[in-house]
Amino acid sequence: MNSVTLWTRFSVVLAAAVLCAAFAASTRAQVQQTTTTSGTPTRAVKIESGEIVAVKGNDLFVKMPDGTIRDFPNVPESAKATVDGKKLGIHELKPA
């Protein structure tokens, strides 16, 4: 075997090893992890003015000043709205 052929084989083997290592690294990067959190998610919503149209269960429907109806689904029991200076819960809100 001459030195050119030996060098060519060595280059091919080296290139194959580099490709295998790159493939293994990219495969490892595709592992998915699941993260769970505990606690109650919160969402602050501020409405300057609006008219309560309906309360169905924990879903609140409000008519906005521009005339659109906005749905606030799954309002938590702990959420409070200030109406005429009083803090009211979801089930204390009544349509106008």
Nearest alpha carbon to residue 64 among 48, 82, 77: 48
More confident position, 53 or 2: 53
Distances (CA, A) of 52 to 15, 47, 60, 63, 90: 70, 11, 8, 6, 11
Q: Residue range 49-73: average pLDDT?
A: 90
Q: Cα(90)–Cα(79) distance, rounded to whole angstroms?
A: 7
pTM of the full structure: 0.51
Tens digit of pLDDT for each residue in 9-51? Answer: 656 555 665 555 555 544 444 555 566 666 665 666 666 678 8
